[in-house]
Amino acid sequence: MEWEVWNLPVGSIEDAFTAAIGPNVGLINWESLQWPDAPEAGFHGESKHAEVTLLLNTPTRELDEPADDHTVLVHVRSANVDGQQRREP
Q: Is residue 63 part of a domain?
A: yes
Tell me the residue range of the domain where 68 lies: 14-86
Helix (H, G, I), strand (E, B) or coil at 1: coil
Ramachandran quadrant class, 2 (left: phi over 0; alpha: psi -120 to 50; beta: rest): beta
For residue 8, is it within any domain? no
Give the separation between CA 35 and CA 87, rounded to whole angstroms.
Answer: 14
Query: Is 5 inside a domain boundary?
Result: no
10 Å Cβ neighbour count for 1? 5
**61 within some domain:** yes
Question: Considering the domain boundaries, does residue 3 fall inside one?
Answer: no
In angstroms, how far is the first alpha carbon of the chain from the final one? 28
The answer to whether residues 55 and 62 touch, using CB atoms and an 8 Å cutoff, is no
Q: What is the DSSP letter of 2?
A: -
Query: How many independent structural domains does the chain possess?
Result: 1
Answer yes or no: is pLDDT of 88 > 70. no
Task: Tell me if 2 is assigned to some domain.
Answer: no
Instruction: Summarize pLDDT for 3-52 with one digit per residue, the tens.
Output: 788 888 878 888 999 899 999 999 999 888 888 988 887 777 888 778 99
At 65-81, the pLDDT tens digits run 999 999 999 887 656 66
Q: CA-CA distance, 11 to 3, in Å (whole number)?
A: 16
